[in-house]
Amino acid sequence: MARRAEETRERIDRTALRLFAEKGVDQATINDIATGAGIAEGTIYRHYKNKEELIWGLFSSNYVALADRLDRLQEAETGLRAKLEAMVSMFCSLYECDPAMFSFLLLVQHRQLPRVTPAMPSPVKVVREVLSQAMERGEIAPRDPEPLTAIVFGIVLQPAVFKVYGRIERPLTELSSQLAEACWMALKPTSIGTG
């Protein structure tokens, strides 16, 4: 009985994520999702209080999961270069494995980020921490880590955006090491004489 509810919920989640990514959050209606999941509209409201909570539920769980995966990856590596490569590589393969989830996160971050509390794990926090620690270790010059974090995210996310819009045709995984290299170089600049 609880089994059935769980399966229904998974169907809702999967369908909603796909439709949100395809059509946008406002354009994908509850009816679209219910039809796509093969259930009644009302059933969605047995699992989520309202549409906004459905969006938030999907966002937060995936966002936190992503942060956790990133954190485990970086911890397993030593040195900024290796950490960057691990994280960038994961991002790229994430896109290939689950492009809908990737697009979804990209799409709704603008609306959902304000709800992210400082206590929640977040990919941004993980990357900033990695950079801060690299500064402490003297791998890169000590600076405000925030712009550097933005730069790293930009280098990885924007090619993904290009991929989504068809401007880039090759699999992102093939670009993985190029992007990691770009991050590495972009971070080094004022560190001349530091390493």
Partner DNA sequence: CATGAATGAGAGTTCATTCAT
Partner DNA sequence: CATGAATGAACTCTCATTCAT
Judged by the rule CB under 8 A, the positions of this chain that interact with its own copies are 24, 26, 107, 110-111, 113-114, 124, 144, 146-147, 149-151, 153-159, 161-162, 165, 167-168, 170, 175, 178-179, 181-183, 185-190
Instruction: Compute the least distance from the CB of residue 138 to its own copies, in Å.
Output: 19
Q: Which of its own copies, DNA, none lies near 124, with the C-beta cut-off 5 to 8 A by kind? A: its own copies
- Decide: 97 and 165 in contact? Cβ < 8 Å: no
Cα-flanking dihedrals φ and ψ of residue 145, to 5°? Answer: -75, -15
Q: Could you tell me which residues come within 8 angstroms of residue 179 by beta carbon, excluding any fewer than 6 positions away?
A: 88, 92, 155, 156, 159
What DSSP line would sit under 112-145, residue for residue? HGGG--TTS--HHHHHHHHHHHHHHTTSS----H
Of 86 and 88, CB closest to its own copies: 88
Among the listed residues 117, 4, 121, 112, the one whose alpha carbon sits nearest the alpha carbon of residue 54: 112
Of 20 and 63, CB closest to DNA: 20
Rounded CA separation 126/43 (Å):
37
Residue with tokens 């950079």: 131
Of 133 and 191, CB closest to its own copies: 191
Residue ranges in contact with DNA by CB under 7 A: 1-2, 4-8, 26-27, 29-31, 39-43, 45-47, 49-52
Q: Which of its own copies, DNA, none lies near 165, with the C-beta cut-off 5 to 8 A by kind? A: its own copies
- Decide: 44 and 33 in contact? Cβ < 8 Å: yes
Of 78 and 109, CB closest to its own copies: 109
Of 16 and 134, CB closest to DNA: 16
Instruction: Compute the least distance from the CB of residue 111 to DNA, in Å.
Output: 14
User: What is the DSSP secondary structure assignment for residue 168, as one 8-state letter?
Assistant: -
Q: Which of its own copies, DNA, none lies near 1, with the C-beta cut-off 5 to 8 A by kind? A: DNA
